[in-house]
Amino acid sequence: MSSANSSSGRHRKAKPMSLAVRRAFIIAAVPVTGALLSAPSALAADKSAKTTTATQSVAADGLDPAEQKIADNLNTRAQNPSLGDTFSGIVLDSKSDKVIWGHDADTALMPASNAKLATATAALTVLGPEHRFTTKVVYGDGTLTLIGGGDRLLSTADVTELAKSAAAGVKSAGLGSVKVRIDDSLFAEPSLANGWNDSYYDDQVAPVRSLVVDGKLSADTSIDAGKVFAQQLADQGVTVDGEVTRGTASATDVPVGQHLSPTLAETVKKMLKTSNNDIAETMLRMTAIAAGKPATFEDGTAVVRDVLSRRYGVSMENFEIYDGSGLSRADRIPARTVADILDLLTDPRYSHRLRSIDEGLPVAGEAGSTLGPEWGRFDTADSQCAVGQVKAKTGTLTGAIALSGLTKAADGRWKVFSFIENQSSADPAATKDTLDGLAATVNGCWA
């Protein structure tokens, strides 16, 4: 790899504001094994458009000694055989927007779950971080209808409260029994996205419906939710006639209960911490609906592209997504674009709107997240030093491994990085260890 100027289609921040003002944008830090990660917006500055020139390789001119050390080390360590021959990577300085290092940064590769960063950004922009999804129960013509509203965090406890409210209404009306049906017509009939395998329904994602309880992975989450509701009604002393059916509530049906989900911000954090595919696909559809579009893969991804390009000026060159989760093997995103999306988190103009993405990124060594010790991440001699110092979105598919995030480097400035590998023949665990090492290199703890 050789050194060259590297820039292209990104934003440049305007003259940085004072440190005191920038610190006003600090987001709550996350403790991990005694370490503390403050938010990148602590050193943020406003952005304006910039143009650059794409190249295949690597370090930019005009690097200071700390940046040059990062670039030199990455030049060497990115040649690890576990990364194979198809690798895209980039490192940015969030304050200056300088490209510190890059390798094939504009090459579009399968991003795997790094695509969730795009989905989350669009959802928070269109719906707003305080948005909540509503699950309703209505009554009409002897039937209680449970209506799905896109709440992927709906629990049995929540449905129990809905059943209690509905049962009270049934009893006050002097009814001895009711029928139960579900209405999940908010979304179109489930289908496979372009690039999805039939096997995904076995253990990766459920057919996308607007009603689910306890995040259950099943062929028909809506009917299953209806059965939970029916059982809770029975527990309240209401006789349920027949089986749970599917139908559409009437406009004349009477509301007897509703439940509001946690905020979208909380849902985004849950999705990113655990890389939940079902939340991502539901979020994509709810974003489409809020934008006045049908709840489909095609319309949801069109809204994502529109938000990223029009609202934030992120280049859509070589950007192709067909779902919200990154499961599609047809998805293609360059590392540069992933980094541009993450770089939005360092801009104070967007800190309130996009804060939950920053807070939802898994932290190296954080148990319960996809970068936790239970997944064997950041546990090598080279990368252990970065525990608690790196926050990043993981991505894993057969033939695709990604790690993109932020870390405060040895120079005290936030660095944004994206590393995406496709089609390596190495053991995936070895590839992940290498990517963890590259993140530790950006941080500077692996010197």
pTM: 0.88
CA gap 4, 265 in Å, rounded: 40
CA gap 112, 128 in Å, rounded: 25
Residue that has been written with the tokens 């949801």 in this structure: 300
Counting Cβ atoms within 10 Å, is residue 72 exposed (0-12), middle (13-18) or buried (19+)? middle
Question: What is the full per-residue pLDDT of the chain (447 aa) written as tens digits?
Answer: 333 333 344 444 443 333 222 222 222 223 333 343 444 444 344 343 333 333 344 556 689 999 999 999 999 999 999 999 999 999 999 999 999 999 999 999 999 999 999 999 999 999 999 999 999 999 999 999 999 999 999 999 999 999 999 999 999 999 989 999 999 999 999 999 999 988 899 889 999 999 999 999 999 999 999 999 999 999 999 999 999 999 999 999 999 999 999 999 999 999 999 999 999 999 999 999 999 999 999 999 999 999 999 999 999 999 999 999 999 999 999 999 999 999 999 999 999 999 999 999 999 999 999 999 999 999 999 999 999 999 999 999 999 999 999 999 999 999 999 999 999 999 999 999 999 999 999 999 999
- 41 backbone dihedrals φ, ψ, rounded to 5°: -65, -10
CB atoms within 10 A of CB 145: 26
CA gap 407, 410 in Å, rounded: 10
Residue that has been written with the tokens 């709906």 in this structure: 154
